[in-house]
Amino acid sequence: MNKQIHITDLGIIDYQKAWDYQEVLLKENVQVKLAKGKGSPATDIPVVTEEETTNYLLFCEHPPVYTLGKSGHIENLLINEQQMQEQGISFFPTNRGGDITYHGPGQVVAYPILDLENFFTDIGKYLRNLEEIVIRTLAEYGIIGTRSAGETGVWLDPEDKTRARKICAMGVRCSRWITMHGLALNVNTDLQYFNNIIPCGIADKKVASIQEELGREVSLAEVKERMQRHFADVFGAEMVLKNN
């Protein structure tokens, strides 16, 4: 099993361009899987191939954009197309899980393109692992992140209805155990953008950022470095830095 994960930082990139790139990497991995053990039409003898699937971890930031999961509700978008244009915000219905969320500058977005057959074949465990990476990263800043029963993502004070707030949203897609999409951690994010949506379709809880919790800006590069380290620990992986 290939437990190497190749890291690429895409910098600031349009949502559609990043989505297209993820699709390319996913399809390449699916083709590798389909080729393994496929018989020759003439002999029906399985072809032996040494090619392995490749695991990736993509980091990026997006210009302001709202994205809606495949099971989401458009009613959770509280502004119309003209208002989005006036505010310079894009909108995309997507093929990930989850409802509506916001991506924008100051946010660390992570897209793991993993072949879970290299690690474990359990989507629930995969999501819990992503949450664990964020929880450990937040702990390095003295922030207690935790889970909220029945709700994916990472939360602060989820048991207190007056203070519960989400700091990291997640939504994934999986095809033949290859993952795409991922998580968005609010670091220095302008939280005003969340006022235009019902984040993740949850009306009674707020959103948070590391900056808001600490009262100061935080280095995105530092956050990503710490997330990489915890990614390696949680997944038992070897992280390999790739030049973009």
Residue 171 known to bind ligand:
yes
Residue 14 known to bind ligand:
no
Q: Which residues pair with 181 in a beta bridge?
A: 172
Residue 216 known to bind ligand:
no
Let me know: does 35 contact 192? Beta carbons within 8 Å: no
Residue 202 known to bind ligand:
no
Cβ neighbours for 62, distance < 8 A, ≥ 6 positions apart: 12, 13, 14, 15, 18, 103, 104, 105, 107, 109
Residue 230 known to bind ligand:
no
Q: Tokens for 190, please give them.
A: 């302008």
Residue in this structure with the two tokens 């699916």, named with its chain if needed: 30
Residue 208 known to bind ligand:
no
For the question of residue 60 being annotated catalytic, the response is no
- The single residue of 60, 168, 174, 200 carrying the catalytic annotation is 200
User: Is beta strand 55-61 parallel, antiparallel or unpaired with respect to 4-12?
Assistant: parallel
Helices 220-235 and 123-139 cross at an angle (nearest 10°) of 130
Residue 99 known to bind ligand:
yes
Residue 162 known to bind ligand:
no
Q: Tokens for 28, please give them.
A: 């390449």
Residue in this structure with the two tokens 């790139």, named with its chain if needed: 21
Residue 184 known to bind ligand:
yes
Residue 97 known to bind ligand:
yes
Active site residues per annotation: 200
- Give binding residues as ranges: 96-103, 169-171, 182-184
- Give binding residues for substrate as ranges: 96-103, 169-171, 182-184
